[in-house]
Amino acid sequence: MLRIGTRGSALALWQANHVKARLEARGESIEIRTITTSGDRVLDRRLEAIGGKGAFLKEIEEALLAGEVDLAVHSLKDVPTQLPEGLGLCAFLERADPRDALVSRSGAALAALPPGTRLGTTSLRRRSQLRARRPDLVVADLRGNVDTRLRRLREGSFDAILLAAAGIMRLGRAAEISELLDPEVLLPAPGQGVVAVESRVGDERVAAAVAPLHHEATARAIRAERVFLEALGGGCNVPLGALAEGDGGGLRLRAYVGREDGGAWLRAERRGADPEALARSVAEDLLSRGAGAFLGR
């Protein structure tokens, strides 16, 4: 019996059950254990004020280290680049659509939203890029899981909201998407659209069980994105986006960093065969052009 630790949101449970089904198809016996995290409990403060995206992992990782669960299933974009000692990421599932999705009450696309539209998102990355492109919109905080955000939109708290496309699609609600935003308009978060499996370092039983779920092309792309993120010291406290995609035999990496108010920003794009070298090259390019000013350096 392998025990999967997961958050209790609809999306987290979809991801955990997806991994469960794939493992059971290979003859494994699986149990899912739902764990409430700090990020789930504290909804009245900005995410960076309660420990960043790691707030969605802390209690699950404590359960892993204590041997209460054997593996954890996460949205990779919520996983910091530095993990607790003794834990590691052992598998990355094939990436779903990495783009951001706009859901508006009127069904209008981003370019057609009228000035003064109240748009909900807590992501500094989304705020920065939106304000750079549409400074006439009113961008307001919106936390909560996918269902909560869509409900608040329907109730009229917002005129439009932004979500990761993969999440809304996995929940069978793609019909509610008003526009899938091209990465040239809004670069996604590093790792967006990827489900990751975390386990204890050295647990060969889990590593062998999840190895058939691992998708190497996805792993190469997100390696570039996460090395870039680490090189810039990024997290939820920095308006930063990155997307690596296959380019022949190599990768194309696009990156964004800017001020939260969108008043100043930088983009970079390079191609290369080695994910880590490519990531560092893009990071060095941005830093040489003044990205440190956006990073508090």
| CATH number of the domain bearing residue 50 | 3.40.190.10
Q: Does one domain contain both 207 and 65?
A: yes
Q: Does one domain contain both 48 and 167?
A: no
- The tens digit of pLDDT for each residue in 38-80 reads 666 554 455 454 455 567 788 999 999 999 999 999 999 999 9
Q: Does one domain contain both 80 and 200?
A: yes
All residues at 6 or more sequence positions from 126 whose CB lies less than 8 Å from its CB, including other chains: 100, 162, 186
Residue 189 in domain: no
Residue 145 in domain: yes
Residue 186 in domain: no
Q: What angle do CA 80, 33, 100 make, to 5 degrees?
A: 45
Residue 164 in domain: yes
How many domains are contained in the chain? 3
Q: How much is the mean pLDDT over the chain?
A: 92
Q: Give catalytic residues, as residue numbers.
A: 78
All residues at 6 or more sequence positions from 178 whose CB lies less than 8 Å from its CB, including other chains: 101, 102, 103, 104, 106, 107, 108, 109, 160
Neighbour-count burial of 180, counting CB atoms closer than 10 A to its CB (0-12 exposed, 13-18 middle, 19+ buried): middle
Q: Does one domain contain both 154 and 72?
A: no
Q: Where are the alpha helices (H) located in the chain, listed in sequence order?
A: 10-24, 38-41, 58-65, 124-133, 146-155, 165-170, 204-210, 216-231, 275-288
- The tens digit of pLDDT for each residue in 144-202 reads 889 999 999 999 999 999 999 999 999 999 999 999 999 999 999 999 999 999 999 99
Q: What is the pTM of this model?
A: 0.92
Residue 188 in domain: no
| CATH number of the domain bearing residue 284 | 3.30.160.40
Q: Does one domain contain both 82 and 110?
A: no
Q: Does one domain contain both 59 and 133?
A: no
Q: How many CB atoms lie within 10 A of CB 160?
A: 23
Q: Does one domain contain both 177 and 208?
A: no
Q: Does one domain contain both 239 and 287?
A: yes
**What is the span of the domain harbouring residue 257?**
224-294
Residue 219 in domain: no
**Intra-chain end-to-end CA distance of the chain, in Å:** 48
